[in-house]
Amino acid sequence: MSVKADRGAEGESLYRRLVWLTLLRIAVVTVLLAAAAAAVLRSDAEDLGRVEQVLYGLILATYAASLGYLFVLRKTKRIKDRFAFVQITGDVLIAACLVYLTGGAESIVAFMFPLTVVSAAVVLYRRGAIVAAVLSSILLAVVTVGLNAKLLPPPSPSLVPASMPLGRLAFVLLAHISAIFLAAALASYLAEQVRSARERLTLREHDYLALEILHESIVRSVASGIVTSDRFGRITYVNPAAERLGGLSSRAAVGEPVEKHFPVLAGRLQSDVPVERFEAEHATPSGEQRRLAMTLAPLVDRETRNHGWVVSFEDLTSIRAMEEAIRRSERLAAVGGMAAGLAHELRNPLASMTGSIQLLAENSVFEDDDRRLMSIVLREADRLDGLVTDFLRFARPAPLQACDIDVAEIVGSALQLFRNDPTKRHVALEERIDRPLSMHGDAGQLGQVLWNLLANASEALSEDGRITVEATRKEKGAIVLSVEDSGEGISSEDLPRVFDPFFTTKERGSGLGLATVHSIIQAHCGSIAVESRRGVGTKFIISFPGSVGTQPAA
């Protein structure tokens, strides 16, 4: 805690104590002076008018001074110790006037001096108590000795105190002054104890506040989601990362059961395992599926009493997707190498078989049935040759003929070819294309990618299906293409394998179309993802980073 902050806190505390002292002064002086005035008025003495006037004047002066103090306090909270000493001095003078008006050393209001000392100790601690005690002792001695020695005029002829012997006078003064300093000692000791306790409490509050700020800063800045709950499983805190990763709203989630937002935790909060780590699928309120690595631990105090639970989690979706992409690439590389060798081994005997059948077909000795069988063999041989060609194209793709291209034009050309295909006229096309969309790539290969995706989408549609094609530029120059159909969708079991070579659900498919698409996109430093829901449709999303995109000229 800084020195400036200490001074500010002390000034604020002094301000509050002075306000309290001013209000207390008004109340006490009102009661005491009213009582003294009533006592004087009940007296049969005829010469008390002067005393009555002095009492009323003292009341008015006290009120005026107190109102002045309150005015100053209201105008500024930066109170100096000197202003407090002014009030203490005024209180001592009021007490001295009361003692003077009520008989000197044997006055019934002589306790006002110790009371003033106590109030000074409350305001200024030991310094205030000592100053008030010294001033009170001096003024008490002046009033007592002055009245006893006739150095001060009596307040009225009927209130002339009897002269006391010197010994008794000294005893009375010593008793009063001892009481004053005893009150100063006790009050200053208690005031210092209170101040010390207040300072320790303030310091501890500052430490707790600093610790709370540090804790809040750490929890808010970590990338992991953190959710805490009480021992009944009700959410008590959600950090910003948890809001982002879990799709939560802190304001709405606090107070609700944690299982409502994380069903995977159902039954785990009663587990006896001190710390439990696991992975689980989590669906956000928007429907997005995420793979979370979760850690569940109890919140316990020093006596190991359970006060709730803390759940921390990280999003592994992209990591698991990268791992799957690496595994897929490894499978593609392995299968591609095998396919290349196999294709070469198949093409040579296939060419020999095709040539032999063609020579046999030229012989006139064969019947029509034989020739029909030969034509079937030739047709299937051609299909097998096409499959071998696809194998080679996939295993050894042609090098990129990269140049600056406009993706919007490539998409438009592919859509035009698709519309002109008589077999695709039952498909409703919807396009949303930003223009221009410049990037560095191979126009021919990207056109092949779009045609393959459009062909797959059309084959998945019924008679009244729809295909939506989007091409947009995102942040940092990234280009995103998507092809979405309203077909039957892909099952969750088949979805992870759609880019694997030779995987197909079509009766006469080769299983190389999407594998080739994946290979071309990777060659362009892009990524491709698929989203599908059974009975809703399938969406392929292609992303090219800004590093391969070129911003259009302004």
pLDDT tens for the chain, residues 1 to 554: 444 444 455 556 666 766 676 777 677 767 766 665 565 566 555 555 566 666 667 777 777 777 776 677 666 655 566 777 888 888 888 888 878 877 776 777 788 888 888 888 888 888 888 998 999 899 888 888 888 777 877 766 555 566 777 888 888 888 888 988 998 899 888 888 888 888 888 888 888 888 888 888 888 888 888 899 888 889 998 888 888 888 888 888 888 988 888 888 887 877 666 788 888 888 888 777 888 899 988 888 777 788 888 999 998 888 887 887 777 777 767 766 676 677 667 777 777 777 777 777 777 667 777 777 778 888 878 777 777 776 666 666 667 788 888 989 999 898 888 888 887 877 888 989 888 888 888 888 899 899 989 988 888 887 778 899 999 988 777 899 999 998 888 888 888 888 877 777 776 666 778 888 888 888 888 888 899 888 888 999 999 886 554 444 43
Residue 43 sits in the same domain as residue 131? yes
pLDDT computed for residue 553 by the predictor: 40
Structure tokens at 56: 């009323």
Give the total number of structural domains in the chain: 4
pLDDT of residue 539: 93
Burial readout 438-456 (b: 16 or more C-beta within 10 A, e: otherwise): bbbbbbebbbbbbbbbbeb
| pLDDT number for residue 7 | 45
| Same domain, residue pair 352 and 336 | yes
CATH number of the CATH domain containing 502: 3.30.565.10
442 and 309 housed in the same domain: no
d(C-alpha 269, C-alpha 234), whole Å = 11
Identify whether residues 152 and 61 lie together within a single domain.
Answer: yes
Whether residue 427 sits in one domain with residue 376 = no
Which residue in 539, 506, 354 sits closest to 430, CA to CA? 539
Quote the strand ranges of 316-436, DSSP E: 403-406, 428-433
* 535 and 461 co-located in one domain: yes
Predicted confidence at residue 481, as pLDDT, reads: 92
CB–CB of 180/140 below 8 Å?
yes
Whole domain around residue 16: which residue ranges?
Answer: 3-204
Do 160 and 42 share a structural domain? yes
Q: Which helix (H) or strand (E) holds 277?
A: strand 276-283
The answer on 271 and 143 residing in a single domain is no
Chain-centroid distance, C-alpha 311: 16
Distance of CA 233 to the CA centre of its chain: 21
Q: Does residue 301 sit in the same domain as residue 358?
A: no
Give a yes or no: residue 550 inside a domain: no
| Those residues with Cβ within 8 angstroms of residue 554's Cβ, 6 or more apart along the chain or in another chain | none
For residue 344 the two structure tokens come to 């070469």
CATH number of the domain within which 298 lies: 3.30.450.20
* 3 state SS for 251-281: HHHCCCEHHHHCHHHCCCCCCCCCCEEEEEE
Same domain, 183 and 41: yes
DSSP label of 365 = T
Question: How far from chain centre, in Å, is Cα 113?
Answer: 57
- Residue where a domain stops, chosen among 355, 378, 395: 395
